[in-house]
Structure 1
Amino acid sequence: MFYDVTRALTEDILIFPGGDPTPVFRQEDHGEYLLSLLSLSTHTGTHIDAPSHYLKNDQSIDLVDPASLIGRCRVLDLGEQTAITRADLEGQVEEADRLLFRTWFSGETAFDPEFPHLTLDAASFLVEQGISCVGIDSPSIEAYDGDGSVHRTLLRNEVAIIELLDLSGVPEGDYYMAALPLRLKGLDGSPARVILSDQPIS
């Protein structure tokens, strides 16, 4: 069975205020065919952060290793948790390569500054555990008033970050994941399609 955990990308999708512009789609009829023009941020909708997003280096989204984005993945249901700490994760991530956090925010359509996020000690713990990819169903892996330290801790250690997933229809458990960004040369992130399967993806 396949689960598409990508949020539908529309003009009214929730955006991170103060940074991301409202996306604009325009479809043109050229007689024999249709052609659509898009205006949106690299961090609109379900997306993957490149290291350059916070480290401001040359590690752009087209250079993110696909091996971190394809393979075994564990979905953890953290319920009503908002600040996800090391204590919330201890004992749940052993033998996991990639982690996706399902919270109360899955399926929400309006921005809430109190969205679920990782604390710095949780991010450091995931690095210690050798996690190669972490995803969350909220607008950011880091708190709304964060200083960037959670992003930098993960990205500096080559942990891929996926944000604004929709895990509302996915039970907690182990899956296989394929999460691929557009190959946007030199850019800091990209919208992505993220698929889970209960069988190996081949």
Structure 2
Amino acid sequence: MKIYDITRDLSEDVVVYPGDIRPRFREIDNGQYRVTEMALGSHTGTHIDAPSHYVRGGRTVDRVPPGVLMGPARVLDCSDVDGAVDAERFADCLSGTRTLLLKTWFSGRQRFEPGYPALSLEAAGLIADAGITCLGTDTPSIEAYDGDGSVHRRLLESDMVILELLDLAAVPEGDYYLVALPLRLKGADGSPVRAVLYERDAKDQP
């Protein structure tokens, strides 16, 4: 069974969205064992946006059922897209899909680039109305750098969750199983995740 680790290394060099917390790590050695002091944000590295990230009173990360982040997932290759990923891109891939991951040219990039591909508001509405429960992207945000929050709100108001800053560089378009579990941070709006994909067995194909 082939497994793809689609999580970026969580280090001081990870891509950080402008204004977010730059992670810091300090090793403490007391002579018998070592521990590491960490400072990082809830949206550092590969992470989940819970509905409460934008929706007042929305579901917090500890209230997201684990099953939402485990199960069949479809990877859609959008590597040829510059700018907005429009609704037309999703015409034939939403039926029967619960989790959708968008692969763009940003996978593998090591520095923030404000022109990363992002979802259009029309596409966000189409995806939300289709009943998608988990939407992922390999970019720093599902929304354009100059966005006003409308895309996030349209998605999160439907009670879906968003995964951002995945690394899908080595993953071909197709159907997989996803596991992307966050820390159970009480009342938090997000959390780093460890995300992996593995290939679906032929007997599991629809």
Q: TM-score, normalised by structure 1?
A: 0.95
Deviation at 1:58, TM superposition (A): 5.0
Q: Which residue identity is paired with 1:30?
A: N
Q: Which residue identity is paired with 1:65?
A: P
Indicate the SS of the match to 2:143: coil
The Cα offsets for residues 77-125 of structure 1, whole Å up to 9 and x where unpaired, read as 1113131110111112222110000000000011011111111110110
Moved more, 186-195 or 91-100: 91-100
Separation in 1, partners of 2:158, 2:89: 21
Match for residue 72 of structure 1?
72
Structure 2: any 5+ residue segments left out of the alignment? Answer: 202-206
Separation in 2, partners of 1:130, 1:52: 19
The within-5 A match list for 1:51-70 is 51-57=51-57, 59-70=59-70
Match for residue 26 of structure 1?
26
Moved more, 77-86 or 42-51: 77-86
Match for residue 188 of structure 1?
189
Contact 2:175 2:200 in 1 (8 A): no
Deviation at 1:143, TM superposition (A): 0.6
Contact 1:58 1:186 in 2 (8 A): no
Moved over 2 A (4+): none
Moved more, 44-53 or 64-73: 64-73
Match for residue 174 of structure 1?
175
CA RMSD of aligned residues (A): 1.1
Deviation at 1:40, TM superposition (A): 0.6
Deviation at 1:149, TM superposition (A): 1.0
Q: Which residue identity is paired with 1:113?
A: P
Moved more, 55-64 or 180-189: 55-64
Structure 1: any 5+ residue segments left out of the alignment? Answer: none
Match for residue 93 of structure 2?
92
Q: Which residue identity is paired with 2:105?
A: W
Separation in 2, partners of 1:139, 1:186: 23
Separation in 1, partners of 2:164, 2:195: 11
Q: TM-score, normalised by structure 2?
A: 0.94
Contact 1:62 1:183 in 2 (8 A): yes
The Cα offsets for residues 34-64 of structure 1, whole Å up to 9 and x where unpaired, read as 1001001100000001111111325211011
**CA 1:58/1:155 → structure 2, altered by over 3 Å: closer, same or farther?**
closer
Match for residue 3 of structure 1?
4
Moved more, 186-195 or 86-95: 86-95
Q: How many residues align?
A: 199
Separation in 1, partners of 2:69, 2:189: 16
Indicate the SS of the match to 2:191: strand
Answering whether residue 26 of structure 2 is matched by residue 38 of structure 1, we say: no
Separation in 2, partners of 1:68, 1:58: 16
Separation in 2, partners of 1:68, 1:150: 20
